[in-house]
């Protein structure tokens, strides 16, 4: 995990519309930066829909939500449209940003070890400093738990 109180590393990734986005463009706003394993899966859909449902309240608190996975821009577009997600999804196919934010870890499934994204959420303040960091978050609880921190 990146340390609370430290500056969040900037990045440039493409969003679901193919637009190159960076963390620095959101200076002056709080940012919920969440890393999730895969579009269109049950847990990730619950998490994304939870953030979508609370998005108006996040906006009232001057906070934006950015979801990051290694899925393609086109899959992000389908996921966003299918579930009417009002926030930005970022594509990191080479996992550089995912690794920079320490969300790429060894996982085990049915005794088999592999590398993958561990569900991780950072709350970043208006100046770009990390004010909260959580790893292994529960998909369904994460949006509400994060909102309570604002």
Residue 77: domain span: 12-148
Annotated catalytic sites, by residue? Answer: 44
Is 29 domain-assigned? yes
Is 76 domain-assigned? yes
Number of separate domains in the chain: 1
Q: Please state, as a whole number, how many other Cβ atoms lie within 10 Å of the Cβ of residue 9.
A: 12
pTM, two decimal places: 0.96
pLDDT in tens, 4-33: 999 999 999 999 999 999 999 999 999 999
CATH code, domain with 122? 3.40.30.10
Is 6 domain-assigned? no
Is 48 domain-assigned? yes
Is 7 domain-assigned? no
Is 124 domain-assigned? yes
Contact 104, 115 (CB under 8 A): yes
pLDDT in tens, 62-116: 999 999 999 999 999 999 999 999 999 999 999 999 999 999 999 988 999 999 9
DSSP assignments along 28-67, one per residue? TSEEEEEE-S-TTSHHHHHHHHHHHHHHHHHHHTTEEEEE
Is 113 domain-assigned? yes
Contact 107, 23 (CB under 8 A): no
């Amino acid at each position: 995990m990146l340390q609370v109180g430290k500056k969040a590393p900037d990045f440039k990734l493409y969003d679901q519309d193919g637009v190159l986005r960076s963390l620095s463009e959101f200076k002056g706003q709080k940012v919920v930066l969440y890393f999730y394993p895969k579009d269109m899966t049950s847990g990730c859909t619950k998490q994304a829909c939870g953030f979508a449902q609370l998005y108006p309240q996040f906006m009232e608190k001057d906070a934006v939500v950015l979801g990051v996975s290694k899925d393609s821009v086109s899959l992000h577009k389908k996921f966003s449209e299918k579930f009417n997600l009002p926030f930005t999804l970022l594509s990191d196919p080479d996992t550089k940003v995912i690794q920079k934010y320490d969300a790429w870890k060894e996982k085990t499934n049915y005794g088999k070890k592999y590398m993958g994204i561990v569900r991780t959420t950072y709350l970043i303040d208006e100046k770009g400093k990390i004010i909260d960091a959580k790893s292994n978050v529960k998909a369904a609880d994460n949006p509400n738990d994060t909102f309570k921190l604002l």
